[in-house]
Structure 1
Amino acid sequence: MTQRYSILRDLSLVRTSEPFHPAARTVLGGALGGTAVLGGTYTLAEPQIEVADLTKRELHDLARDPEVQALAPIMPTKLIEPLAGAAPAAATTTAWGVSAVHADISARTGAGVTVAVLDTGIDRTHTAFAGVNITEHDFSGSGNGDVQGHGTHCAGTILGRDVDGTRIGVARGVETLLIGKVLGDDGSGDSEMIFRGIQWATQEKAHVVSMSLGFDFPGMVKRLVDDGWPVDLATSAALEAYRANLRMFDALMEVAQSAAAFGTGTVIVAAAGNESERQIDPQYEIGVSLPAAADGVISVGALGQSAAGFQIAPFSNTFPQVSGPGVDIVSAKAGGGLRSLSGTSMATPHVAGVAALWWEEVLASALPHTAVSITARLLARAQTTGFAPDVDVADRGAGLVQAP
């Protein structure tokens, strides 16, 4: 019996067979990134994601390969379903989330920054993306485009140009957009699509990657039960897969962070999830889910407005690192025009957009041009005032992200 696995190989610092080949770099005495590596000439390579059908014996043997950093059963993923938001006021000229993160008064626009959105695709003909250089890559097998409209809405919040006199984009100076379609037209996908999407985005030198999606644990259990597995066995297998994919993400982020010592690196932002139900019971709170739960990924909770100040959205999962506007967010609608949606899916692109603004700020400064610098500023500059008195720190994280 075989099972399909994702395999992460770390091929960084692999000794080259051609010591004088132009692609080889000599790493002596900390010449690169302050890391001393004895032995001379190495080729710095990107981590590689592979997929294979493995038996238990093959899995055991492969796990002993020193190049293999992690293995995980391929697991279903799904769109973090947004909720319909309230219609914007007729006189609105700037979406409230753009103002809340102070992007409307920032001197930075995201110029020179490359952003990747891994989602349901994009309606590239929408006026919100006029003049943007868009590269699409379909990992889902359903073709480019955006039937769901979710990816279009998220991309609009990150960098969309004004639509019918309304500003929707946080970083509307971004001109290079990478769209990885990792969820099919039905809103579903799998972990292989996400891993390949992240690999593609980092290889394309994205400064920021935005993901508003989650791993479908219940969906995997149901699929196995439908295939005839006993419920307890199906639940155990799904739990094992979830745990392995968490480790896979952690290993992928660790490899990416190691490679960042020789370049700028990538800030990866992901939605915390919409599984909480505080409107039923204040204690009905679910923790941050994958991929946002992985080390090195910036997890994002959702905020709404109230007379008392910013409130945690009742659906927003707890223990995010930061928060962003996520209720009644107006952005691009696939097919044209605007629509209002709510969810941590809507909060995440606000944080991704602010990250793009900070990239522009840091790249123009004497600060280290690294993802670590951006992450540090997102967390350190987050706003902790203006929240309603009953907001728990665990639910909002470091606070509401702020533009430079």
Structure 2
Amino acid sequence: MSQSAQVSVTKRSIANIVMFSLVLMNVASIRIFAQSPTSKRQNAEIVRDETGSGQSTELNAPVRKTKIAPDLEERANELSRGFYADENQKVIIELKSETPLNRMFGNNLSDADKNALFETEVKGNREKTGVLAENLLKLRGRVKKSFLNTGFVSADLPLSKIKELIENDEVAYVSPDRETGATGHIETTTGTTLVRPLLTTTVNGAGVGIAILDSGIEGTHADFKPLITSRVVLHRSFLPGNTATADKFGHGTHVAGLAAGNDIFSNGASGYYNGIAPNASLLNLRVLDDNGRGSASNAIAALDWMIANKATYNIRVANMSLGAGARDSYLNDPLCLAARRAVNAGIVVVASAGNNGKDAAGNKLYGTIGSPGIEPSVITVGAVNTFGTDSRADDTIASYSSKGPTRGYRTLANGARKYDNLIKPDLVAPGNKLIAPESLGNEFPDSATGWIYYKNNMVSAYPSLQVT
């Protein structure tokens, strides 16, 4: 991995980890209705008709009854006009839901009611997937994998058959399986050390499961292994045809350390490099490959598994330092809907805003939040520059941090686009000059300490980390 890629990845991923300090303060009774400051207005717009499209109750805007993502529809139309030859298209199919799970924002139901909804959903999705599989075969396509808890199917079929696919009664919406990529003194500068003494109970993440959806975790690192047993309690890959869970990219290990590292290498300064939840258990859900790339279906598969296994590992938080380009409205975007299902299952989902806050010439860019960061129920976190100090008085928004408003859109009956325009990110947090564990697969190994320090004053010892 190149030096520039290493640094870029870190900038995008670090900012959102600080949210665990807020999440874990209330870990005993998490009830999330996470939305941006205009949540009441936004929530009024959460209306889905039977076609799976969204409709604004605020503006009463008529919505075209389409079941296909705008970018996928454009490609299908171009194909029909003879712009290029037919090709196999990877898609994510949203199944029609029999429950209000896709319209809910937050964990407002009893456990019994939630479980009943998910049981109904899973049963219905299993039946719909069977019917859909038969119909796809007729279109020279195939089901690759079904995600019963989130209500999605990943499939591929000829692009020329997309418009026939959406005629199926089981189909609510079809999106391309978009590419995802990694995005990206922590206790002191975030204020965590000030909060801990004010609590009547010890809050350090003990007993809590944090799922890291990323490039893997180096579970043997001493920062995750204070005694004999590693706190990385599960390793699982969601990469098709790849069962390896080692972190050769380095991103996931770095993120996991900021969330739950226990500071084994402080050189006598105990706790100086602690993560926010140093006693939490970690789940390594690998959704990105050795180059930090993946697909929306990989992330959806991990979210689906996480919902089904939430109780087994007491998964209370999911971190997604990754993102895909936002084209669909959050009402239709499959990654947003899958994340919302996780929230409705009682899991706090934290996502990075992204690293597209400026162009190559340094000009500010707006409307660059990625998916699932555009989802209102997800806590979306941008980056600040701390200038290497503990005080927050000198912090400023990092120039590279993606900014709102969100620009996913729906198409109205008159052909106009209605953009979501939600206020995001929800929070900002330190995004650079942070120390965290290094994966053994990283390009800059340091067997003496196991640490890597991005863009810092230690470049004299590590010249390859110099950033201009």
TM-score, normalization by structure 1: 0.60
The answer to whether structure 1 residue 51 and structure 2 residue 127 are counterparts is no
The answer to whether structure 1 residue 121 and structure 2 residue 220 are counterparts is no
2:335 to 239, 244, 249: 249
2:296 to 174, 187, 191: 191
Residues 339, 254 of structure 1: CA spacing in aligned structure 2 closer, same or farther, 3 A cutoff?
A: closer
Separation in structure 1 between the aligned mates of residue 232 and residue 93 of structure 2, nearest angstrom: 32
Separation in structure 1 between the aligned mates of residue 96 and residue 231 of structure 2, nearest angstrom: 33
Q: Structure 2 stretches of 5 or more lacking a match?
A: 1-85, 101-109, 123-148, 197-201, 267-271, 405-424, 441-448, 456-468
Residues 267, 280 of structure 1: CA spacing in aligned structure 2 closer, same or farther, 3 A cutoff?
A: same
Contact 2:336 2:372 in 1 (8 A): no
Matched with 1:161 is 262
The answer to whether structure 1 residue 144 and structure 2 residue 144 are counterparts is no
Residues 268, 277 of structure 1: CA spacing in aligned structure 2 closer, same or farther, 3 A cutoff?
A: same
Note the alpha carbon deviations across 1:350-376, whole angstroms, 9 max, x for none. xxxxxxxxxxxxxxxxxxxxxxxxxxx
Q: Report how far residue 252 of structure 1 moved.
A: 2.7
Separation in structure 1 between the aligned mates of residue 305 and residue 203 of structure 2, nearest angstrom: 27
The answer to whether structure 1 residue 98 and structure 2 residue 187 are counterparts is yes
Note the alpha carbon deviations across 1:212-257, whole angstroms, 9 max, x for none. 1122x5xxxxxxxxxxxxxxxxxxxxx8xx4288622343345445
Matched with 2:279 is 173
Matched with 1:339 is 452
Q: Report how far residue 44 of structure 1 moved.
A: 5.5
Residues 31, 179 of structure 1: CA spacing in aligned structure 2 closer, same or farther, 3 A cutoff?
A: closer
Matched with 1:234 is none
Q: Larger deviation: 122-131 or 201-210?
A: 201-210
Q: Report how far residue 341 of structure 1 moved.
A: 3.3
Q: Read off the aligned partner of 2:157 and give its amino acid letter.
A: L
The answer to whether structure 1 residue 272 and structure 2 residue 353 are counterparts is yes
- Partner of 2:333, secondary structure, is helix
2:364 to 275, 283, 303: 283
Separation in structure 2 between the aligned mates of residue 31 and residue 157 of structure 1, nearest angstrom: 31
Q: Read off the aligned partner of 1:118 and give its amino acid letter.
A: L
Separation in structure 2 between the aligned mates of residue 254 and residue 77 of structure 1, nearest angstrom: 18
Contact 1:115 1:207 in 2 (8 A): yes
Separation in structure 1 between the aligned mates of residue 304 and residue 438 of structure 2, nearest angstrom: 28
TM-score, normalization by structure 2: 0.53
Separation in structure 1 between the aligned mates of residue 342 and residue 96 of structure 2, nearest angstrom: 9
Q: Report how far residue 317 of structure 1 moved.
A: 0.9
The answer to whether structure 1 residue 109 and structure 2 residue 204 are counterparts is yes
Matched with 1:76 is 179
2:374 to 280, 284, 293: 293
The answer to whether structure 1 residue 207 and structure 2 residue 316 are counterparts is yes
Q: Read off the aligned partner of 1:123 and give its amino acid letter.
A: E
Q: Report how far residue 7 of structure 1 moved.
A: 2.1
Of all paired residues, the percent bearing the same amino acid is: 27
Separation in structure 1 between the aligned mates of residue 383 and residue 235 of structure 2, nearest angstrom: 28
Q: Report how far residue 57 of structure 1 moved.
A: 7.7
1:318 to 403, 415, 432: 403
Contact 1:69 1:251 in 2 (8 A): no
Q: Read off the aligned partner of 1:132 and give its amino acid letter.
A: R
Residues 109, 68 of structure 1: CA spacing in aligned structure 2 closer, same or farther, 3 A cutoff?
A: farther
Residues 339, 7 of structure 1: CA spacing in aligned structure 2 closer, same or farther, 3 A cutoff?
A: same
Q: Report how far residue 171 of structure 1 moved.
A: 0.5
Separation in structure 2 between the aligned mates of residue 77 and residue 36 of structure 1, nearest angstrom: 32
Q: Larger deviation: 187-196 or 115-124?
A: 187-196
Note the alpha carbon deviations across 1:66-87, whole angstroms, 9 max, x for none. 654432111222223x6xxxxx
Q: Read off the aligned partner of 2:90 and give its amino acid letter.
A: R
Q: Read off the aligned partner of 2:93 and give its amino acid letter.
A: I
Separation in structure 1 between the aligned mates of residue 111 and residue 399 of structure 2, nearest angstrom: 51
Residues 36, 156 of structure 1: CA spacing in aligned structure 2 closer, same or farther, 3 A cutoff?
A: closer
The count of residues paired between Structure 1 and Structure 2 equals 279
Residues 56, 120 of structure 1: CA spacing in aligned structure 2 closer, same or farther, 3 A cutoff?
A: closer
Contact 2:121 2:151 in 1 (8 A): no
Q: Read off the aligned partner of 1:5 and give its amino acid letter.
A: V
Q: Report how far residue 174 of structure 1 moved.
A: 0.7
- Partner of 1:201, secondary structure, is helix
Contact 1:119 1:150 in 2 (8 A): yes
Matched with 2:138 is none
Separation in structure 2 between the aligned mates of residue 326 and residue 48 of structure 1, nearest angstrom: 34
RMSD: 3.3
Residues 329, 278 of structure 1: CA spacing in aligned structure 2 closer, same or farther, 3 A cutoff?
A: farther
Q: Report how far residue 162 of structure 1 moved.
A: 1.1
Q: Structure 1 stretches of 5 or more lacking a match?
A: 15-29, 83-94, 218-238, 343-404
Separation in structure 2 between the aligned mates of residue 115 and residue 36 of structure 1, nearest angstrom: 25
Note the alpha carbon deviations across 1:5-31, whole angstroms, 9 max, x for none. 1123366669xxxxxxxxxxxxxxx99
Contact 1:12 1:47 in 2 (8 A): no
- Partner of 2:350, secondary structure, is strand
Residues 331, 252 of structure 1: CA spacing in aligned structure 2 closer, same or farther, 3 A cutoff?
A: same
Separation in structure 2 between the aligned mates of residue 183 and residue 109 of structure 1, nearest angstrom: 28
